[in-house]
């Protein structure tokens, strides 16, 4: 992904990012690490990424049906709660075995069920692929311009 810089701005500063979820650009203060039940504002996500963190985000709208090659493919009865539970297990494993600088949160503005982001990096998933998510975390954790806790 293109690096949009890392300017620090106020929380209400209007920012347009080049991908969804964002992976770099102007940002306000960081969000707390861990499991969030509400969306983390984009302007805060980017600060966490700048500090070497990873965000695992999910979009429950896609549980109603994924569009693949112009065909709606319905997932097999998985609820948002089940998805969140599965991803919470991945988060726990990643935080215990790799690093604690990870956020799990819903995010409604992306084109896939799951997105994992790091500074200038993004990978989308159509289902919970624990191995793939953990591999992304291992490779890209702390690969950012400002490594802090």
Instruction: Tell me which residue of 121, 126, 125 sits closest to 52, measured CA to CA.
Output: 121
Exposed (0-12), middle (13-18) or buried (19+): which is 15, by Cβ within 10 Å?
middle
Q: In the chain, what is the straight-line distance between the N-terminal and C-terminal CA atoms, in Å?
A: 24
Residues 6+ apart with CB under 8 A from 72: 65, 66
Q: What is the pLDDT of residues 27-80, one digit of tens each?
A: 999 999 999 999 999 999 999 999 999 999 999 887 765 555 555 454 555 788
CATH number given to 34-140: 3.40.30
pLDDT band at 22 (very low <50, low <70, confident <90, very high): very high
Convert the pLDDT of each residue in 106-132 to its tens digit. 999 998 999 999 999 999 999 999 999
Backbone angles phi, psi at 139, to 5 degrees: -75, -40
Domain extents for the chain? 34-140
User: Could you tell me where the beta strands, DSSP code E, fall in the chain?
Assistant: 34-35, 54-58, 66-68, 71-73, 102-106, 114-118, 121-125
* pTM value surpassing 0.85: yes
DSSP 56: E
Specify the pLDDT at position 147.
85
């Amino acid at each position: 992904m293109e690096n949009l810089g890392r300017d620090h701005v106020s929380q209400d500063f209007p920012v347009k990012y080049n991908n969804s979820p964002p992976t770099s650009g102007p940002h306000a203060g960081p969000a707390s690490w861990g499991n969030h039940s509400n969306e983390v504002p984009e302007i805060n996500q980017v600060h966490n990424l700048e500090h070497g963190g990873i965000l695992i985000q999910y979009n429950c709208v896609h549980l109603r049906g994924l569009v693949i090659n112009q065909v709606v493919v319905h997932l097999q009865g998985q609820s948002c709660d089940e998805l969140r539970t599965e991803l919470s297990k991945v988060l726990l494993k990643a935080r215990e075995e790799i690093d604690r600088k990870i956020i799990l949160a819903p995010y409604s503005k992306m084109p896939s069920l799951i997105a994992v982001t790091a500074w200038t990096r993004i990978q989308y998933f159509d289902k919970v692929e624990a191995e793939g998510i953990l591999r992304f975390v291992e490779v890209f954790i702390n690969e950012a311009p400002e490594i802090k806790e």
